[in-house]
């Protein structure tokens, strides 16, 4: 049975009280073990990292991440957080290259390459986000675009290091409030391309973008998909628990 990654980034949401309530309820629900066949993960804002780590405990089956980290270990980088600092706060995973960071904060293929290397250097799991715009999709360039994003970040690494990376394919046109859910048909070709390039070589090939309780099972059924990376649906704990249940059911059938 292969492991399905089911996780959420909270983006810039949740106060500490809200983070605490979500994490405590998840911890109590899981009771110390992950649903069979599922690797849960949660990526709060930096401010909630230590709080969530404290609630989950050091031996939680839920991996804890941060939404970004700098490529340098320390230095004059005002406003940034390094991988060693994220690790010190309890993070095990680093989200890198989300399309919002590429669009609004100048993230490039080169910065994602450096950040993936930094996460690996310190033993954290890089969660590399890739995804094309509606314009690129309209001209039929989705697969080439996402493969170039992934290759730019990963292809200078030895195979052993690539095997520790999780890739999340998140088409920009499908994520967030302005996105529309992708159909299974739209995702078959991009995942075929990703599967050919990285299937069996990375730790996970996840899909993200308007995942909801109605489409999650179908999305997990797409060839080469080994997990879901979820925003809004998982911000309510009930939604996340239901996604874990769907993941467990899917894993059991593999």
Active-site residue identified among 95, 100, 132, 170: 170
Q: How far is the CB of 216 from ligand PEP (least distance, A)?
A: 11
One symbol per residue from 141 to 180: x for binding ligand PEP (CB under 6 A), - otherwise; what is it?
A: -----------------------------x----xx--x-
User: Looking at 20-156, which runs of residues are DSSP E strands?
Assistant: 38-43, 63-66, 93-96, 125-130
Which residue number places its CB atom closest to ligand PEP? Answer: 231
Q: Per the structure block, which two tokens stand in for 25? A: 């309820």
Question: Is 96 a binder of ligand PEP (CB under 6 A)?
Answer: no
Q: Which is nearer to ligand PEP, 35 or 208 (CB)?
A: 208
Distance of CA 185 to the CA centre of its chain: 22
Based on the residue annotation, tell me whether 98 is a catalytic residue of this protein: yes
Name the DSSP class of 45. -
Q: What SS3 class is residue 24?
A: helix
Based on the residue annotation, tell me whether 59 is a catalytic residue of this protein: no
Report phi then psi at 161, rounded to 5: -75, -40
Region binding ligand PEP by CB under 6 A among candidate stretches 118-126, 141-149, 194-202, 208-216: 208-216
Q: Comparing C-alpha atoms, which of 47, 56, 59, 129 is closest to residue 94? A: 129
- Residue numbers annotated as active site: 98, 170
Which residues bind to ligand PEP, rule: CB under 6 A? 170, 175-176, 179, 208-211, 229-232
């Amino acid at each position: 049975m292969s492991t399905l990654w089911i996780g959420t980034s909270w983006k810039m949401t949740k106060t500490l009280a809200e983070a605490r309530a979500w994490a405590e309820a998840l911890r109590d629900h899981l009771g110390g073990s992950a649903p069979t066949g599922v690797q849960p993960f949660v990526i709060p804002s930096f401010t909630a990292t230590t709080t969530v780590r404290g609630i989950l405990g050091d031996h939680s089956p839920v991996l804890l991440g941060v939404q970004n980290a700098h490529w340098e270990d320390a230095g004059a980088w005002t406003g940034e957080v390094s991988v060693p600092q994220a690790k010190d706060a309890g993070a095990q995973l680093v989200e890198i290259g989300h399309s919002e960071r590429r669009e609004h904060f100048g993230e490039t293929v080169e910065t994602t390459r450096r950040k993936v290397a930094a996460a690996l250097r310190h033993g954290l799991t890089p969660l590399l986000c890739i995804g094309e715009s509606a314009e690129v999709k309209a001209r039929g360039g989705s697969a080439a675009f996402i493969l170039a994003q992934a290759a730019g970040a990963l292809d200078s690494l030895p195979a052993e290091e690539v095997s520790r990376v999780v890739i999340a394919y998140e088409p920009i046109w499908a994520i967030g409030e302005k996105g529309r859910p992708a159909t299974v048909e739209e995702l078959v070709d991009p995942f075929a391309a990703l599967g050919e390039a990285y299937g069996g070589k990375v730790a996970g090939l996840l899909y993200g973008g308007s995942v909801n309780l109605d489409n999650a099972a179908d999305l997990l059924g797409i060839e080469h998909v080994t997990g879901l990376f979820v925003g809004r649906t998982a911000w309510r704990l009930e939604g996340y628990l239901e996604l874990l249940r769907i993941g467990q059911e899917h894993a059991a059938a593999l």
